[in-house]
Structure 1
């Protein structure tokens, strides 16, 4: 059975969702941990569901961005939890110095408030898992799906018994059943890989998705299709602004207005707009898409 825990990032609901899976008697699994700043909230969430945090034996990392697995080291340290991640991410869980350096350049003195502390995980508690690997935990069986596009170290996880995919960020951000939107943070955005990753998930014909921002998606194929269209539409919108001679700083407020209008046009309640922005900041998407165009298609931008 799958349970969901709202990590209440910065005290706000509906931004970061952690999945808890019952794998057997006294054997629990988390998909992602959230940042270290929400560790105690998630621990208490496990207790409120009637379980013991010490029974969380396994943690599947979708990828190593701090909002997803910045707190994984606390689970390893406090409860002996084993952490499973793509090989490209596993090394950075063992030695997070490069990850911290990169994040600090982006977030500066907000690092502690946003994400809490970052610590290393002992090598013997980190298991690197490749595409298509089968993981058996108690009565449950997961399959690893390497799903780059949002990040080079991104994996999703197929839980056969529930016919669901724990999709991290590759299936986008979707608040209260609203439209799915793509998070485009630097440095790894690659649209062509993202399209292939969505195709891989689509082929499984899942009954549902579980995403970190936010929760269960009960009608997955239309959501995947809508997300794929939006990925390329938004990327081209950014490209057009560069062709018009705009700088990144000039594009950010324009892009925020553009995305707000698109969300409103699809029936998103006004009160959900801030939650979308918290989960998927416009400034991050502009930076990520700027890097994508300049790195992979420099002939298409000035």
Structure 2
């Protein structure tokens, strides 16, 4: 099993919300996920605490280009790293203006606080990765698994019998339950379930979530994710059928998801941590968009 160093990025000054993973190799360390640029000082400190400099990292593997996973990738590229990502995400990393404009419409005056800035990455530093492509770095072989559903540009990264899952295996913090992050615009339930099956088929010994840390009970975790994903989607579908708008659904869905976490025995600070890592109001928008597309077909 490879050596894996978790770096807690202390997003919004919270522990266990967003992780990056550093893996030493004989050719220097690789990094999986960068987190947002707002947490770049914590990433830099974490790398240095492990005995490296940012300039030592020549290979950064992104699961997808959402800002909480990839927002600081440009800063690693400026330090000399190549950025490995899905072909569907490359254009928005080469020119992030549309990505940032879209995020600004959602987050408005909280953009800087939450995400920081995002600068273009030169095309020659963006390594567009095909499904099941393998990269050999030092003694490690890093294999891509295209896993859409949460995002069409999503990749899970397999190294030996462990998989770094980004968001396709959900969010699970400390001893809490797994929940599915469902932001717009790419949520697709059928593709997500197919991607969960891809993870099962790989028979990993462990999953490493960006939100947050290691999962060992793989079957239970993925079965629970399947169940909650379906329950959330059906909740939204039922409330759409009643004629509720997005705005009307948001407080109801936030209460619904918070009550699920309370029933699982979580205290209020941990519920707020879940909300920071996976804002429930975003899942309303993502699932409404999904069902609207389904109805239009």
Q: Give the conservation status (yes or no) of the 8 Å contact 1:85–1:128.
A: yes
- Corresponding residue SS for 1:23: coil
Counterparts of 1:277 and 1:126 in 2: how far apart (Å)? 31
Candidates 8, 12, 25, aligned match of 2:14: 12
1:291-302 matches, within 5 Å, as 291-298=289-296
Residues 178 and 268, structure 1, Cα contact 8 Å, conserved in 2: yes
Moved more, 240-249 or 228-237: 240-249
Q: Deviations over 1:229-259 (max 9, x none)?
A: 1111110011111112211111111111111
Looking at structure 1, the residues matched to 260 and 272 of structure 2 have their Cα atoms a distance apart, in angstroms, of 14
**Among candidates 171, 174, 198, match of residue 172 of structure 2:** 174
RMSD: 1.2
Give, in whole Å, the separation in 1 of the partners of 2:71 and 2:232. Answer: 28
- The answer for the alignment partner of 1:55 in structure 2 is 56
Counterparts in 2 of 1:129-140, with a 5 A limit? 129-140=129-140
Residue 285 of structure 1 is matched in structure 2 by: 283
The equivalent of 1:114 in structure 2 is: 114
Following TM superposition, by how much is the alpha carbon of 1:177 offset from its aligned partner in structure 2, in angstroms? 2.7
* Secondary structure of the corresponding residue to residue 29 of structure 2: strand
Matches within 5 A, 1:1-302: 1-25=3-27, 27-77=28-78, 79-160=79-160, 163-298=161-296
1:98 deviates by 1.5
- Relative to the length of structure 2, the TM-score reads 0.96
SS in 2 for 1:233: helix
On the 8 A contact 1:179/1:268 being kept in 2, the answer is no
In the alignment, the residues of structure 2 paired with residue 169 and residue 158 of structure 1 have an alpha-carbon distance, to the nearest angstrom, of: 14
TM-score normalized by the length of structure 1: 0.95
**Partners in 2 of 1:48 and 1:74 — Cα distance?**
18
Separation (CA, whole Å) in 2 of partners of 1:282 and 1:249: 13
Instruction: Return the alpha-carbon distance in structure 2 between the equivalents of residues 117 and 170 of structure 1.
Output: 25
Q: What are the Cα deviations for residues 179-227 of structure 1, in whole angstroms up to 9, with x where unaligned?
A: 1000000000000000000000101111111111111112222111100
User: Mean alpha-carbon deviation: is it higher for 221-230 or for 259-268?
Assistant: 259-268
**Which segment drifts farther, 119-128 or 98-107?**
98-107
Separation of aligned partners in 2, 1:296 and 1:30: 37
| Between 195-204 and 241-250, the greater mean CA deviation after superposition | 241-250
Alignment: residue pair count: 295
8 A Cα contact 1:205 1:221, kept in partner: no
Deviations 1:130-188 (A, max 9, x none): 1110111110001100000000100010011xx11100000111010311000000000
CA shift for structure 1 position 298? 4.3
Spell out structure 1 runs of 4+ moving beyond 4 A.
Answer: none
Deviation, 1:106, is: 1.1
Aligned to 2:150, what secondary structure does the other structure show?
coil
